[in-house]
Amino acid sequence: MKKIAQYRRQHHVFTKKILLIMKISTFLLFLALHVSAKDFAQQKITLNVRSNSFTSVLKSIEKQTTYRFFYSDDVVESNKQISIVVNDAPLEKVMEILLNNSSLTWKQMDADKIVIASFIKIDYPVKAVAVSGTVKNSKGEFLQAVVIREIGTNNVVQTTADGSFAINVKVNNSRLEISIVGYKTQQFVVGKSINLEIVLIEENKILDEVVVVGYGTRTKRGISTSISSITAKEITAAPVADVAQALQGRVAGVTIAQGSGAPGGTGGSDIKIRGITSLTGTNNPLIVVDGYPLPDQNANNVLNSFGTGDIERIDVLKDAGATTIYGIRGSNGVIVITTKRGKAGKSNFNVEVYRGLQNAWRLPSMLNAREYAIANTEARVASGLAPIPKLVDPNAIEAQYGNGTDWLGKIFRRAAIQNVTMNASGGSENAQYLFSAGYFKQDGIIYKTDFERFNLRFNGDVKVNSRIKFGNSLSLNKYIEHGTDTYTAFNSNIILALTAPPTVKARNPDGTYAGGLSEDSYAEPNPIYNLEVPKNNNVKYRATGNIYAEFELLRGLKLKTMFGGDYSIQEITSLNIATPSTGGRPTVLSSYFTQKSLNPDYLAEYTLTYDKVFAKKHKLNALVGYTFQESRFSYINGSRGNSNFAYNVPGLDPVIFTPTSLSQISNGALDGISGRLASYVSRLNYDYDNRGYLGFSLRRDGSDKFGPANKFSTFYAISAAWRLTQEPFLKNVSWLNELKVRGSIGTVGNQDIPAYKYLQSINQSFQYTFGNSSGSGGIVNGAAPSSSYNPDIKWEKNEQLNVGFDATLFKNRLNINFDAYQRRSKDLIIAVAPPLVSGTYETVPFNTGTLQNLGIDLTLSGEIYNKNKFTWVANSSLGTYKNKITSLGISSLLERGFQRITGGSRKTTLGLPADYFYGFVTEGIFQNYKDIASHAVQTAGSDPTKSTAPGDIKFKDLNGDGVIDDKDRTNIGNANPTFTYGLTNTFSYKNVELSIFIQGSQGNKVLNFTRWYTEGGVSNGNYSNAVLGRWTGEGTSNSVPRLVLDDPNGNNRVSDRFVEDASYLRIKNVRLSYSIPSKWASRLNVKNTKFYLSAQNLLTVTNYSGFDPEVGGGVDYGFYPQARTFFAGITIDL
Amino acid sequence: MKNNLLKTFLFLFLTTVLFTQCKKSLLSYDPTIPLSSVDNYYSNEAEAVIAVNAAYTPLSAIYNGAAWHLGDIMSDDSDLGGGGGGDGLETAELDNFNVTSFNPIINLMWAQCYFGILRTNLIILKVPNIANITPAIKNRSLGEAKFLRALYYYHLVRLFGDVPLYTNAITVVEASVIARSPKAQVYAQIIADLKNAETLLPNTYGVNDKGRATAGAAKGLLAAVYLTLGDKTNAAAKAKEVIDNSAVYGYGLWADYADNFKLENENGKESVFEVQYRSGGGQYSDYGAGQKLNTFFGPRLQNVVQSAGYGWNVPTINFMDQYEKTGATYNTIIDKRRQRSVWIPGDVSGSYTQPSQLSGSPNGLDVKKYFIPATNTAGDNGGWTCALNVPIMRYSEILLTYAEAAGPALGKSFADQVRVRAGLAALPAGLSDAQWLAAIYKERRVEFGFEMHRWYDLLRHPDPNYFINVMTAAGKTNVAAKHRFMPIPQGERDKNPALTQNPGY
């Protein structure tokens, strides 16, 4: 024993004397207690040490835990090099490994003090039997660092890299316990065999996956609610700006339809988790990024400002058990996005680059010049109009124009897409960082449209000491979009390109825009002009971030404070300049519009969590918290129209804002708070022995949207799960590795109504004029209520019930997750159209009616084949639900109509799915006048002998009153799919991986509005190829009506004729990748390099006749179709 | 370092506590939000005036979107022209007397009148409580509100008969159960409001307020209401009151009939009350600041008016026959009113000549009363928003009201004033009462052609079958007794079970 010894505790040096006393007392204690008192704290230790000194290993443990080691240098001075690999191991196990085969022993003194001292072996038995062996997994791979322990002793060894071990045991009936994280622990009786070949069965690794739940995390094992997750690999597979689009088909029960294929996803994605819960409120899930619940911007573009490459994982919380913690915003489910963070250890640098080409996967076929001339003349003659002289002779047209102008070919193009993401991450045990930068540019497949995004991220975590941790997430983004109208029925450039006649040229010989000539009798704007001249700019800046601090007040009791902000600034400008000729617009004056809007959102959050294990088997996790969030929205805009500023005026030239007449300018502004929430959250999880799980969550939300009596609301949920495979009767069923049954019940809410509807607000936007001035002077403002009010309005209450199971079968090769659910929205907020007698016309929200969804989510995943380095992994998801209105309360009917189609509408009525298509039923084509005379009058208020002719559509007289009118409309289908599904197959062989992702939707209907223009004779525009099969005489067709201009019979009214089955199956993504072998990688000094070739939307199988069957909202107004994209990329990890 | 951390946490703790403590106040709405509610508005003079302005706005929509379909196209004066087919089905329903309770024109009239009624009710309830207001503005505001309320109820009661009558700030729940009040009660309210309005309203306005209701307008409207009710005594007395005080109100006839419909003469001496429109280059809408009649009545697709021209309101031959003429053709019409009222073939405007036949107008006729040529961009710069006002009542109506109510002996000189201005001879003396009524009816028909009066004149005729006989003679064989009242809009009946339907619908 040395005279001077150094004891370590935070660099304090103790005196020799004290030391001596301590050592003696320690020794005595050990004698008395041995190691039986094992009330160790449950701090877990992870070590990955190769040949390091004993003391440095102890230092590593001290860094991770609150344990502090006491030892004298002489005790541990041996130069023995230690190797130890443990993952989340308890202290006991680590110490056993460390001190194995040494003369040292250890003892926990106070809570954290660990004393290591020499041990005098009083009665330790002589090792009698030498046992050796190997440990493999089920794939035959040798396992390193498996702990082999003789039960009842401190006798422990670990396997080496080749999976072998050797241990001396007491007697030959000693029992050995073989354990390693990720595998099921096994026991063996040594017996006669002293050379053991042990095969460990993998524990279901999925169970150890950490799932991000509201205000915390849990391992999958202990989840008693319905949560689905996807990880970075699936997210980055799709070449999209909006991460929502990457979720499509990946998660059972989540239906995603793109509102538009416009570049950058600026059309927004329609995300529905388990169908809709609200008729007039939002049906968008709450999106939480790194703990920050983003304000609902109608889900439009909420996510396309973030870099997809930054995302680590997405957890989708689906049932009330999971979402109640988000209370009044939880009814539509919650999408929890977690971004990547730095990890302790070596630094990483990752670069990912891809480039690709996109084109439209299908364009409708339109008539060529000759066919158009024939069809147009036929339609005009049929309606009693003189033919357009130019079009009378189809032969002359063909001679002059050939096939004519291919307008679709002119507006669609092959377009580039590219993406670069770089991130650097790393850090020490005490501080971790991640920086990332991304650039994404997508040219639209429609000429002149594009999207460009820059994003930066910094996420950091700092551990100040064993009790205090700080961190932040910060994302700075900017995008620039140049768009065009592809979303309004009236002005969509796609509609214009569909209908522009092939006999109109895009440009005149002098280069000016053509069209609008009287000889064409077609005066809609030239689509090329519409794409080239108006300059539409949409720029968005967004900073989203938070700073947190976590303080461990007592063992297991942590206080976390988070402050966050999400600021977005959007600038929209649109400059439309008069040009010498504007094809179809004989006099266009210049106009300029600009709008700046600001959308700041603030969050403050305080949570207290407590973790405690009682008597080893009872684990408690409790959370209480308070959060406050405020959203504001304001904008200011100004415009100048009807003026003559010249072509070359730059956007900021003051001349634009110097009008010559007040009538040329207008401005608008909105300024105010759009919502505040003050909430209390709480949750209690109780885990019993890794077998039973109970969760209880409670949230009390205060929202300023409701009147004084209804500001606060409380939501609760209970969930429970039982791992049946932990029970004796299932424990030894070999084919069943894991079976957990789950159930949850709870309430969530929806608060999405306009603010202050409990007051009767004054609308100050009325105008009237007084005074004698002509022209535009004398306009005065008026103020009056335009809506009524409901002092009792409150949140929408959604009651949800979920039962399900998670199973793992056949040696962990098949995973099944099944959920069945019922969701009932009671106190449904329905915007009730007031009786006009009330003197108001805006709808008033009332809590009335009930909406119900019943559904099933199923996920199957597993390894189908794994041999000889060839693996085939498949992953599939399926979701189906039935939506039904079970009560409408005081709002007897809701209708939504399209102004452009006579009698067309959507409707919501009792007992049917919400928002079904409401229209007429067709029963073929009138073949002759006798047929017409024997049927109901087709157009109310008209003389059937004038308005209806053979070749017109025959509408069914549903009420049998002899007249086809509003009352003959009925349910003609709805946009809800019967089921949606996704299937990913991943094949890998050595360094090559092929992944094929198929996604589809079955049974959803689309109202194809484009056909209103292209089959109808609503103008002198062009027709689709479908009219080639038109009725031209008795018996020629019973489905495509005759051509007649102005549609006297109303053939174009909304009817089942335009409602199409838009089921589809789509090879959404195919990806072939190759990772260079590790020896090349090390030669190149990189960790990993991967090349890939990929295709998005490679193949689509559908009967839908429009551009694309994925139509968000269910009505196809000629939306921007999705592109088929081929791209190639490389990922390098340095 | 350690100290700082401690301070940081102390701060965090404190903010936690602070935030938690003031949560109640965080959720009550912020007084800085510029949100006005019915409870806190109507609190000063400016707000009173702005509230009254909004009570006028339904007029723009009524005269853009409903009054001419009902007053003229449904009558024997004009028919629906336009493109035919499905174009203007709702108007065709009226024109052909197969109107249903789903008709949007009927619905527009109903809705806009009630919008005006709620707004005027709120003014009448709230403005008296404003402490700080000039008495003149207070009286004027209340007078305008009562005048407008009477006007809206007058439209409703003539068109629908019994209608829900309320004078309170009705809630949406009350509006869902309110029943129809008898016509007599509605008229009683109209008369009471107008009697009150005539005492509250000023006789004239300063230049910036022209177009607001005047005392003369209230009296004139009251005379018309009495006439509608067949109360000739009161109608004559009230009309005479206006005539006798015409200098006070500044009333008189323009020398040239056409002067009534000129941009520069808006709210001029012959104007008793008119709908105010302004050109704003706005969108196609019934509810904008501009008037859309110019485009809707302009010769179809001839571009002589802004936005092409739709030719929807086509005068009938029967109407044209009312003009006194010397020969068989329209060229020989001597009535000077024709030139401003109707386009006939050969009429010229700039380089445009009206053809003998147009799509939807087989005889080349179109309404010209509200015509502002496309070249006059100050009056109409496109987008279906013309600046020209539309008269609701002109001084000549007061004269003819008096003439009709007072009878041939007393009334002849007043009717003759109107005829002389039109370049016609005085009416013969010694007409019987029936002849007199017929003469006045004919005079009103040409004087107010396309001013949306005719249908109501047909209805108020002493012979209850008059409108049926006239319309049947005009070829509208569907017309029936039920058409005296239009159907109550179905949407309203769906929401309020207490609303009964008029017979026959």
DSSP string, A284-322: PPEEEETTEE---STTTTSSTTS-GGGEEEEEEE-SHHH
**Integer Cα distance of A1062 and A977 in angstroms:** 9
In B20-99, which ranges are E strands? Answer: 78-80
CA distance, residue A992 to nearest chain B CA (Å)? 51
Q: Can you tell me the mean pLDDT for A551-573?
A: 89
Structure-token pair, residue B20: 């938690």
**Integer Cα distance of B367 and B389 in angstroms:** 15
- Among A764, A766, A793, the strongest candidate for a mutation testing the B interface, having the largest count of B CBs within 10 A, is A766
User: Backbone phi, then psi, for B273, in 5-degree steps?
Assistant: -155, 135
What single-letter amino acid sits at A1083?
R
CA distance, residue A630 to nearest chain B CA (Å)? 9
**Integer Cα distance of A630 and B42 in angstroms:** 31
Smallest Cβ distance to A760: which of B15, B38, B114?
B38
**Integer Cα distance of B466 and A64 in angstroms:** 101
**Integer Cα distance of A246 and A313 in angstroms:** 12
Q: Can you tell me the mean pLDDT for B338-345?
A: 96
What confidence category does residue A77 fall into, taking pLDDT thresholds of 50, 70 and 90?
low
**Integer Cα distance of B284 and B64 in angstroms:** 11
Are the beta carbons of A839 and B118 separated by less than 8 Å?
yes
Strand A1123-1133, strand A345-360: pairing: antiparallel
Q: Can you say how many angstroms the Cα of residue A347 is from the centroid of all Cα atoms in its chain?
A: 29
Are the beta carbons of A780 and B16 separated by less than 8 Å?
no
Query: In this predicted structure, what is the pLDDT of residue B199?
Result: 97
Are the beta carbons of B34 and A768 separated by less than 8 Å?
no
Is the distance from CB of B107 to CB of A405 less than 8 angstroms?
no
* Lookup result for tokens 């004298």: A72
- Among B27, B271, B370, the strongest candidate for a mutation testing the A interface, having the largest count of A CBs within 10 A, is B27
Smallest Cβ distance to B47: which of A777, A783, A789?
A783
Q: What's the order of all strands across the beta sheet hosting A104-108? A: A68-70, A113-118, A104-108
Query: In this predicted structure, what is the pLDDT of residue A945?
Result: 73
Residue A557, classed as helix, strand or coil, is strand
Q: What's the order of all strands across the beta sheet hosting A164-169? A: A164-169, A129-137, A195-200
**Integer Cα distance of A811 and A203 in angstroms:** 9
Strand B348-349, strand A905-908: pairing: unpaired
Are the beta carbons of B279 and A839 separated by less than 8 Å?
no
Considering only A372-386, A438-452, B61-75, B421-435, which range has the smallest mean pLDDT? Answer: A372-386
CA distance, residue B329 to nearest chain A CA (Å)? 28
Is the distance from CB of A261 to CB of A267 less than 8 angstroms?
yes
Strand A850-867, strand A870-887: pairing: antiparallel
Are the beta carbons of B495 and A892 separated by less than 8 Å?
yes
**Integer Cα distance of A859 and A880 in angstroms:** 12
**Integer Cα distance of B79 and A1122 in angstroms:** 49
**In the beta sheet, which residues pair with residue B118?**
none
Query: In this predicted structure, what is the pLDDT of residue B13?
Result: 59
DSSP string, A408-450: HHHHB--EEEEEEEEEEEEE-SSEEEEEEEEEEEEE-SBTT-E
Which residue in chain A has the smallest CA separation from B50? A782
Smallest Cβ distance to A768: which of B12, B56, B267?
B56
Are the beta carbons of B276 and A770 separated by less than 8 Å?
yes
Is the distance from CB of A597 to CB of A634 less than 8 angstroms?
yes
Which residue in chain A has the smallest CA separation from B273? A770
Are the beta carbons of B279 and A775 separated by less than 8 Å?
yes
Q: Which of A678, A627, A691, A629 is nearest to A214 (CA)?
A: A627
CB–CB contacts below 8 A, A to B: 252
pLDDT in tens, A811-857: 778 889 899 999 888 888 877 888 999 999 888 888 888 888 899 98
**Integer Cα distance of A359 and A445 in angstroms:** 6
Are the beta carbons of A673 and B492 separated by less than 8 Å?
no
Q: Work out the mean pLDDT of chain A and round it to a whole number.
A: 81
Q: Which of A562, A226, A502 is nearest to A367 (CA)?
A: A502
Q: Which of B246, B486, B279 is nearest to B376 (CA)?
A: B279
Task: Using the predicted structure, report yes or no on whether residue B30 has a pLDDT greater than 60.
Answer: no
State yes or no: ipTM above 0.90: yes
Q: Which residues of A touch B86 (CB under 8 A)?
A: 902, 939, 1046-1048, 1050
* Lookup result for tokens 């963070």: A341
What confidence category does residue A644 fall into, taking pLDDT thresholds of 50, 70 and 90?
low
Smallest Cβ distance to B57: which of A768, A771, A840?
A768
Are the beta carbons of B281 and A641 separated by less than 8 Å?
yes
Task: Using the predicted structure, report yes or no on whether residue B71 has a pLDDT greater than 90.
Answer: yes
Burial (CB count <10 Å: 0-12, 13-18, 19+), residue A120: exposed
Structure-token pair, residue A868: 């000889």
Provide the phi-psi class of B84: left if phi over 0, else alpha when psi is between -120 and 50, else beta: left
Are the beta carbons of A965 and B12 separated by less than 8 Å?
no
**Integer Cα distance of A626 and A604 in angstroms:** 8
Query: In this predicted structure, what is the pLDDT of residue B302?
Result: 86
Is the distance from CB of A1042 to CB of A208 less than 8 angstroms?
no
Query: In this predicted structure, what is the pLDDT of residue A736?
Result: 83
Query: Which residues 6+ apart lie within 8 Å of B249 measured at CB?
Result: B203, B204, B214, B215, B216, B242
Is the distance from CB of B279 to CB of B290 less than 8 angstroms?
yes
What single-letter amino acid sits at B58?
P
Is the distance from CB of B163 to CB of B156 less than 8 angstroms?
yes
Which residue in chain B has the smallest CA separation from A839? B115
Are the beta carbons of B50 and A780 separated by less than 8 Å?
yes
Which residue in chain A has the smallest CA separation from B266? A772
Structure-token pair, residue B359: 């799509």
Which residue in chain A has the smallest CA separation from B388? A774
pLDDT in tens, A540-549: 999 999 999 9
Q: Which of A822, A832, A831, A829 is nearest to A884 (CA)?
A: A822
Q: Which residues of B touch A1050 (CB under 8 A)?
A: 86
CA distance, residue B212 to nearest chain A CA (Å)? 7
Q: Which residues of B touch A777 (CB under 8 A)?
A: 278
Query: In this predicted structure, what is the pLDDT of residue B442?
Result: 96
Are the beta carbons of A762 and B115 separated by less than 8 Å?
no
Considering only A14-18, B34-38, B190-194, B207-211, which range has the smallest mean pLDDT? Answer: A14-18
- Most confidently predicted of A229-243, A646-660, A965-979, B310-324: B310-324
Query: In this predicted structure, what is the pLDDT of residue A38?
Result: 41
Q: Which residues of B touch A847 (CB under 8 A)?
A: none
Residue A683, classed as helix, strand or coil, is strand
Q: Which residues of A touch B110 (CB under 8 A)?
A: 836
What single-letter amino acid sits at B301?
L
Query: Which of residues A268 and B323 earns the better pLDDT score?
Result: B323
Structure-token pair, residue A310: 């930054």
CA distance, residue B444 to nearest chain A CA (Å)? 27
Structure-token pair, residue A461: 């975590």
Task: Using the predicted structure, report yes or no on whether residue A946 has a pLDDT greater than 50.
Answer: yes
Please report, rounded to a whole number, the percentage of residues in chain A having pLDDT higher than 90.
Answer: 16
What's the N-to-C CA distance of chain A in angstroms?
Answer: 49
Is the distance from CB of A297 to CB of A467 less than 8 angstroms?
no
Q: Which residues of B touch A626 (CB under 8 A)?
A: 16, 19-20
Are the beta carbons of B176 and A835 separated by less than 8 Å?
yes
Are the beta carbons of A942 and B89 separated by less than 8 Å?
yes
